[in-house]
Amino acid sequence: MNSLENIIGDLCKIILPIQEESYIGNTDSSISICTLSSMELLKKISNSELLNHISIVGRLLSENKGIDSMIKYLNQNKKIKTIIVCGKEVYGHKAGHSLFELHKNGIDNCGRIINSVSPNPFLTVTKSEINYFQKEINLINLIDETNLVTIKNFII
């Protein structure tokens, strides 16, 4: 990232602070849910009985720091084996798309997610952390799905 992008990013954090949000459910569950940018869906799931059947639900807003955080979390919480990726993509960032491309293709020698169409898909996690993600985690593609009943059918 160049210095202008860093400055703009820092300015956005001040003007439009985005709180990281995730909700812990049943830590014995091997299933987690990523709602991408769908905050209303995240709140619905966190306040439903579905939380009793999943390990964690959270959002993913960026193709870089957000995916880095997710990969690190998965490497520290090895019980999770499935991620249901649902909700609406963040316009312009396509974090969900990048997550699936990372799972399929990994990163190049510069840390860039191979075949990502996101504007800044550079990760700082290690290749071994990514290998774990690729080999041990099953992704279910429900991008653009916001219907709680439909999502629930993949879990219960």
Over 60: is that where the pLDDT of 1 sits? no
Select from 56, 55, 52 the least CA-distant residue to 28: 55
Mean pLDDT of 49-75: 95
The answer to whether the pTM exceeds 0.85 is yes
Task: Specify the pLDDT at position 19.
Answer: 55
Q: Which two tokens stand for residue 9?
A: 């990013």
Select from 17, 124, 16 the least CA-distant residue to 69: 124
| Residue carrying structure tokens 């974090």 | 95
Amino acid at 58: G
Check if the beta carbon of residue 121 is closer than 8 Å to that of residue 98.
yes
Task: Specify the pLDDT at position 92.
Answer: 85
Over 50: is that where the pLDDT of 15 sits? no
At 88-142, the pLDDT tens digits run 998 888 999 999 999 999 999 999 999 999 999 999 999 999 999 999 999 999 9
Task: Specify the pLDDT at position 7.
Answer: 56
At 21-41, the pLDDT tens digits run 899 999 999 999 999 999 999
Over 90: is that where the pLDDT of 17 sits? no
Indicate the SS3 state at residue 143.
strand
Check if the beta carbon of residue 107 is closer than 8 Å to that of residue 127.
yes
Q: 99 has which bridge partners?
A: none
Grade residue 9 by pLDDT with cuts at 50, 70 and 90: low
